[in-house]
Structure 1
Amino acid sequence: MNFTFVSLFPHLLEFYFKDSILFRALEKKIINIDFYNPRDFAFNAYKKVDDYKIGGGAGLLMQIEPLFETLNFIKQKNEKSHFIFLSPSGKTFNQKDAKRLSKKEHLIFVCGRYEGIDERVFEIFANEIFSIGDFILTGGELPALMLCDAISRNIEGVLGNLKSLEEESFEFGLLEAPAFSKPFIFEKQYKKNNAPSVFLKGNHARISDLKNTLASCKTKFFHPDLFLEHERKK
């Protein structure tokens, strides 16, 4: 899988791939990343990439020419490029999207800045537009990293244990069941906070039933809309 990030501040993205799971995936060449800065495609001597909006309004907008040239260059290199824009106007990204997009060959995340991106760029290039929630950030870099991380986890070989995906939240319409680490009793003064004893008795059927019950309870409490949707599908 190839991930491309289009950003005016690529250094804000690079650090995320220096450690942990995605770093190992890069080392194994399971994923590949690269970065394009629209400033490198600006025509003016000062590499200016922002300007005032047509029709007035507060703030500056990313100019169409540098971004258009950047995305056109990427598209010409790979016709299978799938362009993803991060915008409050997009559909809310979810786990189903992460799994579906993990099958793509090349994803390009277009990160806006300032007051956003010229609408014509969306119309020409956008394959999909995603939001991560009803709030505003200073740029699209953080959402792009979040999507990349979520998608990468579903690519074969990225996680050491594929079973990790099977029990994650949203896989079966519920949040993941509460998890407990060893030791069973972590401090004598916290004896009332023991983990459920069922987990220690080796009865896998009972453990599975308990996990399902706990997952339902957790979802009903923290995410009631998801719980109701799950109940309707039964």
Structure 2
Amino acid sequence: MKFSFITLFPELIQPYFKDSILARAEQKELLEFEFYNPRDFSTDKHKKVDGYKIGGGAGLLLQTQPLFDCLYSMQEKDFNTHFIFLNPCGKVFKQKDARRLAHKKHICFVCGRYEGIDERVSEEFANEIFSIGDFVLTGGELGALVLCDAISRNIKGVLGNSLSLDEESFENDLLEAPSFSKPFIFEKNNKKFLTPSAFLKGNHAKIASLKEKLALCKTSFFNPSLYQKRKIKDK
């Protein structure tokens, strides 16, 4: 899978891929990352890429020319590039989107800055527009990283143990059940913190049943709308 990032500040994104799981996946050639700066495509002698809004209003927009030329050049190299724009108006990104997009060959994230991107750019190029929540960031780079990370871990071979995906939150419309590590009994300040006893007895059927019950409880408390969706599915 190739991930491309269109951004004025590639140095904000690049360090994230230098360590841990995604770095190892890049070394194995499971993932490839590349970066394009719209300034490199600007025809302005000062490499200007932003301008005032037509009709007035605060802030500056990323202009059409640098982005059009940048994105057209990418299409010429790979017509199947899947362009994703980050925008608060977009649909909220979900785990099901991460799983679906993990089957793409090349995804390009277009990261806005300032007051966003001239609407004509997204109308011409956007295959999908996503938001990561009902709030506004100073740029699309963080959102792009969130999507890239979520998609990447669903690509075969990226995670050390593919079974890690089976019990994750949002699978089967449930949040992941609480998890515990050794020691079974942890003591601090004269207080004992215990692990549920069913986890200690090696009965995998009982452990699976308990995990499902705990996942249901956790979902009903932290995400009632998801819990209602699960209840409807179980009827």
TM-score (norm 2): 0.98
Separation (CA, whole Å) in 1 of partners of 2:154 and 2:128: 19
Which residue of 2 is the match for residue 157 of structure 1? 157
Separation (CA, whole Å) in 2 of partners of 1:123 and 1:28: 36
Question: How big is each residue's C-alpha offset from its partner over 1:164-219, in whole Å with a ceiling of 9 and x where there is no partner?
Answer: 0000000110000000111111216232x201011110000000000000000000
Residue 204 of structure 2 is aligned to residue 207 of structure 1: no
Separation (CA, whole Å) in 2 of partners of 1:225 and 1:26: 37
Give the share of equivalent positions with the same residue, in percent: 65
Which residue of 2 is the match for residue 231 of structure 1? 231
| Matched AA of 2:21 | I
Which residue of 1 is the match for residue 103 of structure 2? 103
Query: Deviation of residue 61 (structure 1)?
Result: 0.5
Residue 47 of structure 2 is aligned to residue 47 of structure 1: yes
Separation (CA, whole Å) in 1 of partners of 2:138 and 2:222: 28
Separation (CA, whole Å) in 2 of partners of 1:95 and 1:137: 21
Give the alignment of 1:63-74 within 5 angstroms.
63-74=63-74
Separation (CA, whole Å) in 2 of partners of 1:148 and 1:25: 13
Separation (CA, whole Å) in 1 of partners of 2:142 and 2:175: 23
Residue 200 of structure 2 is aligned to residue 219 of structure 1: no
SS of corresponding position for 1:233:
helix
Separation (CA, whole Å) in 1 of partners of 2:70 and 2:182: 51
Which residue of 2 is the match for residue 8 of structure 1? 8
Question: How big is each residue's C-alpha offset from its partner over 1:46-69, in whole Å with a ceiling of 9 and x where there is no partner?
Answer: 111011001110011101100111
Q: Say what the alpha-carbon RMSD is for the aligned residues.
A: 0.7
SS of corresponding position for 1:99:
helix
Which residue of 1 is the match for residue 24 of structure 2? 24
Question: How big is each residue's C-alpha offset from its partner over 1:119-162, in whole Å with a ceiling of 9 and x where there is no partner?
Answer: 00011000000000110000000000000000000000000101
Separation (CA, whole Å) in 2 of partners of 1:85 and 1:120: 12
Question: How big is each residue's C-alpha offset from its partner over 1:44-91, in whole Å with a ceiling of 9 and x where there is no partner?
Answer: 111110110011100111011001111111111001100000001110
| Matched AA of 1:138 | T
| Matched AA of 1:63 | Q
Separation (CA, whole Å) in 2 of partners of 1:190 and 1:162: 37
Separation (CA, whole Å) in 1 of partners of 2:191 and 2:225: 34
Separation (CA, whole Å) in 2 of partners of 1:37 and 1:67: 9
Which residue of 1 is the match for residue 187 of structure 2? 187
Separation (CA, whole Å) in 1 of partners of 2:32 and 2:126: 21
SS of corresponding position for 2:85:
strand
SS of corresponding position for 1:74:
helix
Which residue of 2 is the match for residue 118 of structure 1? 118
Separation (CA, whole Å) in 1 of partners of 2:69 and 2:8: 14
Gaps of 5+ in 1: none
TM-score (norm 1): 0.98
Separation (CA, whole Å) in 1 of partners of 2:71 and 2:186: 54
Separation (CA, whole Å) in 2 of partners of 1:155 and 1:204: 28
Gaps of 5+ in 2: none
